[in-house]
Amino acid sequence: MKKNFWQIFKLVLSHVFRYFFDLIFFILLPIAILYSWLRFAFKKIFHLSPSIIVSPMGEPLPFNNVKALRAAGFRADNVAYTCPRYFRSISFGLILEDNFFLRMLVYLTDYTFLFLWAAFKYDFFEFAFIGGILKNSHLRKIELPLIKILAKKISVYGYGADCKVISDIRLQARKMGFKYHTAMDRNEETERQSEKEIAENVARAKKYADVLIAGGDLIHLGSKAKYLPIPADLSLWPYRPAKNHKKIVLIHSTNHRLHKGTRFILKVVENLEKRLPIKLMLLERKTLKECQRLYPLGDIMI
């Protein structure tokens, strides 16, 4: 009973904080809009490059995007909510899960004050289809229109499952005569989001984003979609000469077996092992440091 009481108390308290700070947010929003339009006009007149904030997802891709943007001369930052264990060795920027008090402040203010801070500091917002700064807020569905009202540019980056509507991929695969495709082993149970939610996120991004950045199989994104290769920091992977192995070592490093077609690779290698001097090193749940040590042991990467 005591536990239930405290659960209810915390829930009520969080809702009180949320709606109180939402009210303050909408009171301050006109000031942010005025400032943002003045900032936009000033930068336009003097041909100043935009400041960029990248998705708070905390995955390797946004970290690498920031590195690539900085290498191209842009001012770019990431504010990550979390960071996966395997990527910890080279993560950088503000990671909220590392600061308890800041994390609680952001949560209790329903992420709105963090959004306002970004609105005053940045001109270009790059988010995932799953959402941006307000992705955990109950205001998340109005985030993209708010950013447009604030005279900001938006790019929405397809990280993978966050924008792949499985039924769309299957339909397009049938139309194009593909026997194999990225959705053939997947269904509602294998995904972190429902297909309805993914479809709603995609529709919202298609409406409000200036550009949609996508991989080759995301043809359902339409005319705003631009294909860009995923950035990789090659300084993390120095060249190593091939080893003289008695058996050719194949390395397959996978984070999602169902997404990466791992079952086909295992079957093919099993058949080839009967006829050729090869062996497979299957890497899963490894940190970046572990992969940096293990990859050079292979001859061929899958």
Start-end of H helices in the chain: 2-45, 60-71, 100-108, 112-121, 143-149, 166-176, 195-208, 257-260, 262-273, 288-294
CB 21 within 8 A of CB 114: no
**What span, in angstroms and rounded, lies between the C-alpha atoms of 15 and 67?**
38
The residue count for the chain: 302
Find tokens 């109180």 and name the residue: 20
Give the CA angle between residues 112, 114, 117 to the nearest 5°: 110
Q: What residues are paired with 253 via a beta bridge?
A: 283
- pLDDT at 215 (0 to 100): 64
SS3 282: strand
pLDDT in single tens digits along all 302 residues of the chain: 455 766 676 777 777 888 889 999 999 999 999 999 999 999 999 999 999 999 888 888 888 889 999 999 999 998 899 888 888 888 888 888 888 898 888 988 999 999 999 999 999 999 988 889 999 998 999 999 999 999 999 999 887 778 888 888 888 888 889 888 878 888 777 887 888 888 899 899 999 999 998 765 565 677 888 877 777 888 888 888 877 778 899 999 988 888 888 999 999 999 999 999 999 999 998 888 899 899 988 999 99
CB 280 within 8 A of CB 266: yes
- pLDDT at 1 (0 to 100): 46
**What span, in angstroms and rounded, lies between the C-alpha atoms of 196 and 188?**
10
What pTM value is reported for the model? 0.83
- pLDDT at 155 (0 to 100): 93
**What span, in angstroms and rounded, lies between the C-alpha atoms of 250 and 187?**
29
Residue 252 falls in which region: left (phi positive, over 0), alpha (psi -120 to 50) or beta: beta
**What span, in angstroms and rounded, lies between the C-alpha atoms of 141 and 134?**
8
CB 79 within 8 A of CB 96: yes
Residue 160 falls in which region: left (phi positive, over 0), alpha (psi -120 to 50) or beta: left
Can you count the helices (H) and strands (E) in the chain?
Answer: 10, 10
